[in-house]
Amino acid sequence: MKRRIHFGSVLVYSLVWYLCSCSAFYLPGLAPVSFCEEDQGGEDCQTVIQLFVNRLDSVESVLPYEYDVFDFCKDAKEKRPSENLGQVLFGERIESSPYKFNFKQNVKCKAVCKKDYKKGDQDDVTKLDFLKMGMQLNYQHHWIIDNMPVTWCYDVEDGQKYCNPGFPIGCLVTADGRAKDACVINSEFNKKNTFYVFNHVDIKITFHSGASEGWRGARLVAATLEPKSIKNTDENNPTCEGGSPMEVPGEFDNDVSIIYTYSVTFEQNDDIKWASRWDYILVSMPHTNIQWFSIMNSLVIVLFLSGMVAMIMLRTLHKDIARYNQVDQADLIKIPSSKGNSSLPYEDAQEESGWKQVHGDVFRPPRKGMLLSVFLGQGTQIFIMTFITLFLACLGFLSPANRGALMTCAVVLWVLLGTPAGYVSARLYKTFGGEKWKTNVLLTALLCPGIVFADFFLMNLILWVEGSSAAIPFGTLVAILALWFGISVPLTFVGAYFGFKKAAIEQPVRTNQIPRQIPEQSFFTKPIPGIVMGGILPFGCIFIQLFFILNSIWSHQMYYMFGFLFLVFIILLITCSEATILLCYFHLCAEDYHWWWRSFLTSGFTAVYLFIYAVHYFFSKLQIIGAASTILYFGYTMIMVLIFFLFTGTIGFFACFWFVNKIYSVVKVD
């Protein structure tokens, strides 16, 4: 397969893109392009509108395919725009098509090409079978004009209009007469065991004239189409009106000829501005209104629960600190007894219990401190990457029109943030008393990224075997390895050097030489129940957004509400922190001082609920069939779960670390 991305230029492109985006204002994609009529063109005004085609995908299969894999009309002089790293990782494959239009020249029923399939030709049989597979699994075209998706807009329930950024190859009426997918839109699609090819499209291009705006020509603000199935017999004189639909029998008994045609009309609309030309697509998304209600509902619930946690913590902790400080200040003061003239020491009246009892063990280094420090270093890297990426997305730099920008930004940021990962890991490992600094820095740089890359490589092998366009070319894999080992690993070593060079984090209390025995714990203060309960509240504040994110990934819907996502991100930080602090306080009150790993796993267990929800989503929402698609779904889901586990676990750990240091530094324990 041809690829226009060169692995040697990936790093340069990514860095330049990132630096440019940081200093730019909102750009909804490319700069505006002006179009003029044929006799008025020039360098600043194009006359020909080129239609580009992207990969084809389906909600019933995880495997996308390039346009060229199907036997469609191809451009004689095929052009492939240079793709950025994010587009390659997402499997986007954009190329030119034979659909070319002169600006403001309406065309009616123009033939593009004719495809003949002979019954006895094995090559034709293979091509037609693959086309049938695409129609059976409801594969969708994705066409692009002026960096804008060509949408198929149709009416849905309640009189609303939905604009789909793709349209199907065709549809199928099963052997039992059941019309699948798009076959329900036409009553003429009624023959059993028959495929109907959408071989004709009526395209309407809307433009905004610059005559009154002070700029030359016009700018395209919308592109819509309506797919049709029309059987034409004469390629030179197609009619594209009336007649029977283009049928492809389920059994290849006779020769089949498919003539692909199109019509195009131009319409002027000066009410639509070029900067808001995506609005008609995004506003028509069926989840928009639900999104507003659901997000506000979740926000109120989470803020209420967070307030409850904060109130409990402040009131309870305030009483404990006041009581313990009062004990220390009135160490020898006698108070009258209610039973007579005798007196009792205040210490006997208020016996120490709970979290102060374990002050000599609370900072005892944890078991497997090496692994914990490595996880926290990687989690810090992921946290900073996520924060900056979402912030840039809120500013509009990573809008859907900026294809591949979101993934490119995330990868570049992850590569450049190796230094914080190495520093945090080394500093905490030194605090835990570790001495194997070489092992620590190597694991920080290689362990979690290695697991992700191994999973990603196995999924890529399956895509290669299946011939999917989502398969990453070998050159891009080499480029990713170069970014990892050439930039991220050295930066991790630099961060680790400064982390080990600095002194260990000073603890507010000394650690006893002999560990204190932990008393018998109740069911709710045992490790496993506490960890399982700790992930419920954080997951409750993200599962609504998680539904829309999974829809955008697996159901190929556009995700653009990054403002809401950033808000949920902040709520997730607060909720993970407060839930972990609350459970940590309960465990310390029960005189269980093993909080290091528990604080990480308590909020990190949210990732387990994410995996359970992903399994539920797979069986209840998706129509994916086939072993390869199933393996790919769960393979990529495991990468998401691991990243989310490190991210949430790190949030909970540092919140609890701050809390424990705070209370033991405020209270006099010596």
What does the alpha-carbon distance between residue 197 and residue 169 come to, in Å, rounded to a whole number? 6
Segment 184-205, tens digit of pLDDT: 888 788 888 899 999 999 999 9
Phi and psi based region of residue 193 (left: phi greater than 0; alpha: psi -120 to 50; beta: remaining): left
Higher pLDDT residue, 383 or 164? 383
Task: Give pLDDT, residue 291.
Answer: 59
pLDDT band at 80 (very low <50, low <70, confident <90, very high): confident
Mean of pLDDT values over 113-138: 90
Q: Is the pLDDT of residue 22 over 70?
A: no
Task: Give pLDDT, residue 19.
Answer: 33
Segment 259-281, tens digit of pLDDT: 999 999 999 988 888 878 877 77
Tokens linked to 575: 């909720």
Q: What is the identity of the amino acid at 651? A: I
Q: H or E stretch including 462?
A: helix 437-466
250 has which bridge partners?
Answer: none
Q: Is the pLDDT of residue 363 over 80?
A: yes
Q: What is the identity of the amino acid at 498? A: F
461 phi and psi, to 5 degrees?
-65, -40
| Choice among 90-104, 283-297, 512-526 with the minimum mean pLDDT | 283-297
Helix runs in 70-148, H state only: 85-90, 122-136
- Taking all residues of the chain, what is their mean pLDDT, rounded to a whole number? 82
Packing angle of the helix pair 405-416, 369-395 (nearest 10 deg): 140
Total residues found in the chain within this entry? 670
Dihedral sign computed on CA atoms, order 21, 22, 27, 33: negative
Task: Give pLDDT, residue 91.
Answer: 78
Tokens linked to 245: 């639909």
What is the DSSP secondary structure assignment for residue 219, as one 8-state letter? E
Mean of pLDDT values over 366-389: 94
What does the alpha-carbon distance between residue 339 and residue 353 come to, in Å, rounded to a whole number? 25
Higher pLDDT residue, 502 or 482? 482
Q: Is the pLDDT of residue 2 over 70?
A: no
| Choice among 41-45, 103-107, 630-634 with the minimum mean pLDDT | 41-45
Q: How far apart are the first and last CA of the chain?
A: 71
205 has which bridge partners?
Answer: 223, 266
Segment 200-248, tens digit of pLDDT: 999 999 999 888 777 888 899 999 999 999 888 887 888 887 778 888 8
Task: Give pLDDT, residue 482.
Answer: 94
Q: Is the pLDDT of residue 327 over 90?
A: no
CB atoms within 10 A of CB 265: 14
Q: Is the pLDDT of residue 452 over 70?
A: yes
Q: Is the pLDDT of residue 17 over 70?
A: no
Is residue 628 helix, strand or coil?
A: helix
Cα angle, residue 344 at apex, residues 340 and 349 outer, rounded to 5°: 115
What Rg do the C-alpha atoms of the chain give, in angstroms? 31
Q: H or E stretch including 63?
A: strand 61-65
Percentage of residues in the chain having pLDDT higher than 70: 85
Higher pLDDT residue, 459 or 514? 459
CA 342 to mean position of chain CA atoms: 70
E strand segments, 289-416: 334-336, 343-345
What does the alpha-carbon distance between residue 338 and residue 423 come to, in Å, rounded to a whole number? 58
What does the alpha-carbon distance between residue 544 and residue 565 come to, in Å, rounded to a whole number? 10
* Half-sphere exposure (Cβ direction) of 199: Cα atoms closer than 13 Å: 33
Mean of pLDDT values over 527-539: 87
Q: What is the identity of the amino acid at 322? A: A
Q: pTM for the whole thing? A: 0.83
Tokens linked to 3: 């690829």
Tokens linked to 583: 């459970």
CB atoms within 10 A of CB 118: 15
What is the SS3 assignment for 42-79?
A: ECCEECEEEEEECCEEECCEEEEECHHHCCCCCCCCCC
| Choice among 254-263, 325-334, 508-517, 639-648 with the minimum mean pLDDT | 325-334
Q: Is the pLDDT of residue 24 over 50?
A: no
Mean of pLDDT values over 340-365: 60
Task: Give pLDDT, residue 353.
Answer: 53
What does the alpha-carbon distance between residue 368 and residue 429 come to, in Å, rounded to a whole number? 10
| Choice among 55-59, 147-151, 353-357 with the minimum mean pLDDT | 353-357
What does the alpha-carbon distance between residue 58 and residue 574 come to, in Å, rounded to a whole number? 37
Task: Give pLDDT, residue 5.
Answer: 38
Packing angle of the helix pair 543-554, 562-589 (nearest 10 deg): 130
Dihedral sign computed on CA atoms, order 298, 301, 307, 312: negative
All structural domains of the chain with their residue ranges: 1-28+365-506, 29-54+94-277, 534-670
Residues 73, 82: contact at Cβ < 8 Å? no
| Choice among 7-21, 195-209, 244-258 with the minimum mean pLDDT | 7-21
Percentage of residues in the chain having pLDDT higher than 90: 33
pLDDT band at 313 (very low <50, low <70, confident <90, very high): low
What does the alpha-carbon distance between residue 169 and residue 152 come to, in Å, rounded to a whole number? 13
Mean of pLDDT values over 57-70: 88
DSSP 312-323: HHHHHHHHHHHH
